[in-house]
Amino acid sequence: MPAKLKKNYQIKVKLMDIQPPIWRRLLVTSDIKLDSLHSVLQDAMGWFNCHLHQYEHAGALYGMASEQEDPFGLDERVESEGKYRLSDLLQQEKDSLIYEYDFGDGWRHEIQLEKILPLDKQAPSAICVEGERACPPEDCGGPWGYQSLLDTLADPSSEDYAEMREWVGEEFDPEEFNLVKTNRFIEQRHAMDPESMLQ
């Protein structure tokens, strides 16, 4: 994308089917590729990149390019996410797409373009500016499994309480969101692979 067209996007990422909402507000460059955005989303939300993912927009799917042959054409409808930039999909404020992580648990995130801002060349290529509530633990059963987990943790008299508390850890607080820690993860990834967000 030519420098004069490059912008900053303010996007809101909201985990669907969860109440109260779990969300993050991010600033990213408009030309970030979808595979790089995946890494940012993992760090911003608090996931550990243990499962497959894909994007959905306007009836099309975007995901990881398969390294294996597909003789039956089953993956034909999945576009390679590395070939597309966020600005290819979101072009106007209020445009949105879906990011799904872990097809088993079915964590679906709505990503909405809130604001298109002038490019700030001094700003990081991706940063979290706001958010609420902790990311659910991996492999907890999706939105409904997570709600069941929260119900158990809220009731120390439950027969499953001790087991579930040990599983999530004593320090897990579903209401906690640490902005500084979140941005540290994003910055560390960028430091390890500075070109990943710029290609």
CB 97 within 8 A of CB 89: yes
What's the pLDDT tens digit per position in 115-156? 999 999 999 999 999 999 999 999 999 999 999 999 999 999
CB 35 within 8 A of CB 86: no
Mark out the alpha helices in 64-178 (DSSP H runs): 86-89, 142-153, 161-168
Residues 6+ apart with CB under 8 A from 95: 89, 112, 113
* pLDDT-derived band at 73, boundaries 50, 70, 90: low
Residues 6+ apart with CB under 8 A from 147: 18
Mean pLDDT of 16-21: 98
State what percent of residues in the chain have pLDDT above 70. Answer: 89
Q: What are phi and psi of 165, to 5 degrees?
A: -65, -40
* pLDDT-derived band at 191, boundaries 50, 70, 90: confident
Distance spanning both ends of the chain, measured CA to CA: 10
Indicate whether 75 pLDDT > 70: no
Alpha-carbon distance of 81 to 61, in angstroms, equals: 9
Indicate whether 72 pLDDT > 70: no
> CATH assignment of 8-133+177-192, given 3.60.21.10, 3.90.1170.50, 3.10.290.30, 3.40.50.300?
3.10.290.30
> What is the domain partition of the chain in residue ranges?
8-133+177-192, 137-174
CB 168 within 8 A of CB 160: no
* pLDDT-derived band at 68, boundaries 50, 70, 90: low
Q: Is there a cis peptide before residue 20, judged by omega within 30 degrees of 0?
A: yes
Look at residue 30 in the predicted model and tell me its pLDDT. Answer: 98
CB 115 within 8 A of CB 98: no
Mean predicted lDDT score pLDDT of the chain: 92
What pTM was computed for the model? Answer: 0.91
Look at residue 192 in the predicted model and tell me its pLDDT. Answer: 75
Q: For the ranges 26-35, 76-85, 94-103, 161-170, which has the lowest average pLDDT?
A: 76-85
By C-alpha distance, which of 137, 64, 135, 143 is closest to 105? 143
Look at residue 74 in the predicted model and tell me its pLDDT. Answer: 57
